[in-house]
Amino acid sequence: MRSAIVLGAGMAGLGTALHLQQRGWSVVLVDRGEPGRETSFGNAGILQAEAVEPYAMPRDRASLWAIARGRSNDVHYEARYLPHHLGALARYWWHSAPRRHAAASRAYATLIAQAIPEHAALIAAAGAGDLVRRGGFRVLYRERRALEAAAAEAERLRAAYGVRARILTPAELSAAEPALRRAGEGAVHWEEPWSVRDPGALAAAYAALFARQGGVIARGEADSLAPSPRGWRVRTADGPVEAAAAVVALGPWSPDVLRRFGYRIAMVRKRGYHRHWRSARTLELPLFDAQHGTVLAPMAAGLRLTTGAELAGPEAATEPVQLARAEAAARDLLDLDGPRENAPWSGTRPCLPGMLPMIGAAPRHPGLWFHFGHGHQGFTLGPTTGRLLAEIMSGETPLVPAAPFRPGRH
């Protein structure tokens, strides 16, 4: 029987482990904590069928000037930490040029098209249907010009990719979301995405499915990964584990582990925050407040407010400036009571400058495989890219062309 160690029990690692298992592999899933408690836990819980193009770095002067002056809540930074990010940001800027971004989008869209079906199959197998809402999510615009631009963009994406959206007037948005105190100038309702009321619980359900089917989940440290006579070895709380193959699916920590093997992988690490709030009346579907860069997502734990990107140092203390702004903006839209947590949650998104996840064989180490760099869409794409990697590792024809995601192409 073919054997593999999968390092990282977030959505990418879980997707890989489950799909290898389906193909007859013996799999040990190794993480330092409980499955799905890092980045896969802290997102807005949206499975984004509409996100057919990866996030590009803004290139227009107005957006860059707003970020530079701290007027945009989409990005927050401290000048003292920028040197840590400059190399990766420069490459991100280069890849965000229109021609290169269009090429990345063509590959990215092939993955997004499979995201809902891949989750649907695992949700059914895991018995986790009660965690999911169908019906999409909405983007609220407070300015008319912004809504008109968004409507034009929605029409472009419909024509190019077939994604469905509906433009809502303020009256239609208010009728759909009675809890809203204000409806701005209206909204774009993306109709195809699903949302999850507890992202961590969905990851836990996938982990339980993996275990029920004979998979092993072990506590261990990824930095103990080393070659062995059988292939690869890692230390766990239950002793050393060896397998013929090892998959690095560690999200933002992947480059650190791989540096020991001579791989230098540039990554833009974007910190994000969330906090749950009590509210007598909540939303029916997640709502993205475009002007303030925050998603208001109804969750089992309360109304989750999430933030955009913070560029911080690796060991920098948390500074939830964006979250404070998001909470103030949310109070303008909804009647909020108090926060459910004393301190907000924070986590890091693993964004590769080329905007495509890295999926495939390590260039110089047989049996070592890469699966990371999903940016903002690891929760959405983990099962799809996990299947893609499992197909490559098993010698099958992949469900989408794999070349754009191959290590070395980024």
Of 207, 210, 233, the residue nearest 222 (C-alpha):
233
Please give the pLDDT value at position 84.
86
Q: Residue 141's Cα: distance from chain center in Å? A: 23
Sheet containing strand 226-228, strands side by side? 226-228, 231-236, 239-243
- Which residues does 408 contact at the CB level (< 8 Å), separation at least 6? 363
**How many angstroms separate the CA atoms of 141 and 147, rounded?**
6
Average pLDDT over residues 216-237: 97
Residue 314 has pLDDT above 90, yes or no: no
Listed in sequence order, the DSSP H helices in 71-226 are 82-95, 98-126, 144-161, 170-176, 199-212
Residue 90 in tokens: 């420069």
Identify each DSSP E strand in 185-332 by its residue range.
186-190, 194-196, 216-219, 226-228, 231-236, 239-243, 245-248, 268-277, 287-289, 294-299, 302-306, 309-311
Pair 30, 234: CB distance under 8 Å: yes
Measured between alpha carbons, how far is 77 from 3 in angstroms, rounded to an integer? 43
pLDDT at residue 410 tops 70: no
The domain ranges of the chain are 1-48+197-264+354-410
- In sequence order, what are the beta bridge partners of 309? 75
Q: Please tell me the predicted confidence (pLDDT) of residue 382.
A: 98
Identify the CA nearest to 303 among candidates 259, 269, 271, 333: 333
- C-alpha to C-alpha distance for 13 and 254, rounded to whole angstroms: 12
Q: What is the pLDDT of residues 112-166, one digit of tens each?
A: 999 999 999 999 999 999 999 999 999 999 999 999 999 999 999 999 999 999 9
Quote the DSSP letter at residue 292.
Answer: G
How far apart, in whole angstroms, are the C-alpha atoms of residue 152 and residue 226?
51
Q: How far is CA 143 from CA 73, 276, 327, 331, in A?
A: 16, 27, 19, 18
Query: What residue type is 181 in one-letter code?
Result: R
219 has a pLDDT exceeding 90: yes
CA 224 to chain centre: 26
pLDDT band at 334; cut points 50, 70, 90: very high
Q: Could you tell me which of 254, 223, 224, 261 has the C-alpha nearest to residue 239?
A: 224
Q: What's the whole-number average pLDDT of the chain? A: 95
Question: Taking each helix axis from N to C terminus, what angle separates 98-126 and 199-212, rounded to the nearest 10 degrees?
Answer: 60
Q: Which of 9, 10, 111, 193 is nearest to 385 (CA)?
A: 111
Residue 101 has pLDDT above 70, yes or no: yes
Helix and strand element counts for the chain (H, E): 10, 22
Higher pLDDT, 57 or 206: 206
CATH class given for the domain over 1-48+197-264+354-410: alpha beta
Confidence of residue 82 (pLDDT cuts 50, 70, 90): confident
Q: Which helix (H) or strand (E) holds 76?
A: strand 75-77
First vs last C-alpha separation in the chain: 33
Write the pLDDT tens digit of every residue in 341-354: 989 999 999 999 99
| Whether the predicted pLDDT of 32 surpasses 70 | yes
d(CA 110, CA 381): 11
Residue 1's pLDDT band (cuts 50, 70, 90): confident
Partners of 83 in beta bridges: none
Whose tokens are 């002056």? That residue is 69
pLDDT at 58: 86
The average pLDDT across 160-173 equals 98
| pLDDT tens track for 2-14 | 999 999 999 999 9
Whether the pLDDT of residue 315 is over 90: the answer is no
Lowest mean pLDDT: which of 198-207, 291-300, 314-323, 378-387?
314-323
pTM to 2 decimals? 0.95
Task: Please give the Cα distance from 184 to 177 (Å, whole number).
Answer: 12
Apex 106 CA angle, 104 and 107, nearest 5 = 70
Higher pLDDT pick, 116 / 81: 116
Instruction: Of 100-104, 262-266, 341-345, 384-388, give the lowest mean pLDDT range.
Output: 341-345
Distance of CA 42 to the CA centre of its chain: 9
Q: Is 166 helix (H, G, I), strand (E, B) or coil?
A: strand
Q: Check pLDDT > 90 for residue 66.
A: no
Name residues whose C-beta falls within 8 Å of residue 113's C-beta, 6 or more positions apart in sequence: 52
Instruction: Give residues with Cβ within 8 angstroms of 372, minimum separation 6.
Output: 8, 12, 248, 249, 250, 251, 254, 350, 357, 358
> Encoding tokens for residue 346?
């924070």
Q: What radius of gyration, in Å, describes the C-alpha atoms of the chain?
A: 21
Residue 69 pLDDT level (bands cut at 50, 70, 90): confident
Per-residue confidence at 355, pLDDT binned at 50, 70, 90? very high
Amino acid 333: pLDDT: 96
